Amino acid sequence: MNVAPPRRLEPILTSLEEARDRDDLQAVIVDFRDYFRIDHLVYHWVSADGDQYGCGTYAPEWVARYLEKDYLRIDPVIQGCYQRFHPVDWKRLDWSGKAVRHFAEEARAYGIGNQGFSVPLRGPNGQFALFTANHSCPDAEWQAFTERHRRHLILIAHYFNQKALEFEPDRTAEAPRALSPREVDALTLLALGYGRAQVAQTLSISEHTLRVYIESARFKLGAINTVHAVARALSRGMIVI
Partner 1 sequence: MLRYVYGDDLHRFPHLADTMFRDRADQFKTRLGWAVSVDEKGHERDDYDALNPLYILWEGPDGRHQGSMRFLPTTGPTMINDHFRHILGGGTLTSPLIWECTRFCLARGAASHVAAALMLGGGEVMRQFGVKHFAGVFDARMIRIYRMIGALPEVLGSQGEGRARISVGLWEFSETARRQVARRAGVPPELSDLWFRQSFGAAPLPLSRSA
Contact code string over 10-39 relative to partner 1, x by CB under 8 A: ------------------------------
Query: CA 84: distance to chain centroid?
Result: 15
| Coil/strand/helix, residue 117 | strand
* From candidates 10, 24, 122, 143, binder to partner 1 by CB under 8 A: 122
Spatial separation of the C-alpha atoms in residues 230 and 222, rounded to whole Å: 11
Residue 96: DSSP 8-state? -
DSSP state of 179: P
Nearest approach, Cβ of residue 147 and partner 1 (Å): 8
**35 or 131: CB nearest partner 1:** 131
Cα 129 to Cα 6: distance, rounded to the nearest angstrom: 25
* Alpha-carbon gap, residue 130 to 148, rounded angstroms: 20
Specify whether the CB–CB gap between 190 and 199 falls below 8 A. Answer: yes
Name which position in 16, 29, 43, 76 contacts partner 1 (CB under 8 A): 76
The one segment of 9-17, 23-31, 60-68, 80-88 that binds partner 1 by CB under 8 A: 80-88
Q: Which residues bind partner 1 (CB under 8 A)?
A: 76, 80, 83-87, 90-96, 101, 104-105, 107-108, 112-114, 116, 122, 139, 150-151, 154-155, 157-158, 177-183, 206, 208-209, 211-213, 215-216, 218-220
